Structure formats: C-alpha cells, structure tokens
Chains A and B, each alone.
Chain A
Amino acid sequence: MTARIGVVTFPGSLDDQDTRRAIRLAGAEPVALWHKDKDLKQVDAVVLPGGFSYGDYLRAGAISRFSPVMESVIAQAKAGLPVLGICNGFQILTEAHLLPGGMLGNDHLHFVCRDQRLRVENARTAWTGDYSEGQEIRVPLKNMDGRYVADRYTLDELEAEGRVAFRYLVDGDAADGYGNPNGSLNDIAGITNEAGNVVGLMPHPEHAVEPLVGSGRTDGLPFFTSILKKLVTA
C-alpha cells in the first residue's frame, strides 16, 4: 500500500499536473481533486498547487479559499490532515487562515522567475522530514505576489517556535539564485503551522524533481518522499 495524495485543481491552477507527476515519481499515488467537489476521496494528504486561481482577483487565493473543496480541506487540516500549499496554494492557505500572515505583491512590482536558493529551517514538518535542518537547496520560483507579511508579534512567534520552514538565502550573487526575491519579511520563503501538518511556500519543489528537465536538479523531490515516508510509516 502506498499513500494517496490529492492535488486540487482550481480554475486557473497551472502546476497541478506537475505536482501529480512529482508525487508519482516519489512513489505515491496522485489523486486529482476538483475545486467544486467537497469530496476529498479519502486521500492521506492534499497539495494545493501553484497557478493563478480566479486570476488572482480581489487578492491572490481570496476567492479559491471559499470553494467547496476548501471547506473539507480546512476542516480536515485542523484535524491533522497534511496539507502543502505551493505558491498560489500558499496564498490560499494564508487566506484560509490555516497559516498566519498574508501575501502581497513583490516589492519591486515585477513578476519574478528564476532558480532560487533556500535554506531548510525546519526539517520536522510532515513535508520536510527527508531534508536536514540547515540544508541549502535550489528550486524554481515564479510569482507576482510572493511578499510574505505579518505583524511583528506573529513574526516573533514564528521565529521563536521554529515555524519558518524555508528562508531565502540572501548572501550571494543574484544571478546565482541568491537574494530576497520579493521583499518577504525576515526573508521568509515558507512557514508551517504549529502542528507541522500544514506547510506553505512560494518556490516550486514540484518543478525540481527530475534530472532530465528544468535546472537538472532534484532538490524538490524530498517534499514528496518526506510525506510518503511519514504516511506509510504512520
């Protein structure tokens, strides 16, 4: 028995197929979920993929957050279902208040698309167990609204509890993937909830899972092997 991992398709999702492929490459079974359907098909975990659901109208993720499938995702995430939000999925998780803070437009007002260097700050979440703490990875980043913001109290709480899961590596050449790409506070690239089952990040691990394509790196694959290992040994 392998684990079944659902991937939600919203109107405007772009990376749902790549995410299902990454799940399959990791050895789990991807299950397509539809935004209008409350039924999560008894999956063991859910990924909210990247894209521009509802054209980012109102705020990125603001409309998707009220879709029927999210009713189930929110209820089950609170009960411990592992949920990963990538890019637009991260934005949906903050809009749904499953993760604290919010996402705003990049501080330089431009779309950004590049290979980004990150440091794994928390390897204890459901989605990061196959990384080691402090490990440096490089995965694609592509977004318009990637600036993570939160009030000072929330930031202090995230830092104190080790809930910053990924941080942009800033000391180095921008052409080599270093730097804060969007003005995120504390160089935050991704965070986790208190329980460690809900994780969101802006960069795209699902685009870095095969040596043959993209940057040729597989730095994103451990997301999907981590959750598989966690579910199968649970």
Chain B
Amino acid sequence: MARVVVDVMLKPEILDPQGQAVQRALPRLGFDGVSDVRQGKRFELEVDGPVDEAALARIHDLAESFLANTVIEDFTVKVEEVAEAAK
C-alpha cells in the first residue's frame, strides 16, 4: 500500500487573498521575516496495490481533470511509501 500526495497551488500570477491575510497576521503573532504566504490544497490518496506507472498515470489524469482546475491552478503528484512499521 502507498500514499500518493497531490499538492494543488494557485498559479503564481493569480492573487491569493487568503494567503495575504495569513501573511499580514504574522507580525501580530510576533513572527517576522515572512514576506509572502500562498495557500494551497493537499490531497492524500491511499492507493490499494502497487503504485506503478499505470496507477500514477491515472492519478495524474485525476489531478488534472478534477483535483485541480489547470486554468487557475498547478499541481504536483508524489508517492509517499507507507512504512511497514507504521501499520
């Protein structure tokens, strides 16, 4: 079993008012030195069976057509092996 993580972020040129609101709150919390914050989404997909090339290709299609709207967002797909000991 493996976990596939899909990260979705607004394209860099698109304004992210939520990220800005978070960034503006930081100095009030005594946290200085952060000039920009952008907020995205993370999807964790628990995949049955091996994550082979075919499975990854399907997840890539899913991310492209559904999890992200590529008109306004970029996405990345990465595999996280779930350690045996953690089960």
Contacts and interface: CB of A to CB of B under 8 A. Distances in A.
Contacts, number: 35
B45 interface: no
A95 B69 contact: yes
Interface stretch (B11-19, B53-61, B79-87): B11-19
Contact of A58 (B14, B21, B67, B72): B67
B66 A62 contact: yes
B71 interface: yes
B21 A102 contact: no
A105 B17 contact: yes
Contact of B66 (A66, A147, A151): A66
Contacts of B17: 105-109, 183
A123 interface: no
Contacts of B69: 59, 62, 95, 102
Q: Summarize A's interface: helix, strand, loop or mixed.
A: loop
Q: Which of the four size classes fits the interface of chain B?
A: 10 to 19
Contacts of A100: 71
B71 A94 contact: yes
Interface residues of A, number: 21
Interface string A153-175: 00000000000000000000000
Nearest to B68: A59
Interface string A70-103: 0000000000000000000000001101001110
Contact of A101 (B10, B15, B21, B71): B71
Nearest to B11: A151
A101 B15 CA distance: 14
Given A66-B66, A109-B21, A183 B15 contact: yes
Nearest to B14: A149
A112 to B, nearest CB: 13
Contacts of A105: 17-18
Interface string B4-43: 0000001001110110010000000000000000000000
A60 B26 CA distance: 29
A150 interface: yes
A150 B14 CA distance: 9
B45 to A, nearest CB: 14
Contacts of A94: 71
A94 B9 CA distance: 18
Interface of A: 58-59, 62, 66, 94-95, 97, 100-102, 104-109, 147, 149-151, 183
Given A105-B18, A107-B15, A109-B17, 6 more contacts: A62-B66, A101-B71, A101-B72, A105-B17, A108-B17, A109-B21
Counting from the closest, the 3 A-B pairs by CB-CB distance are A102-B72, A102-B71, A107-B17
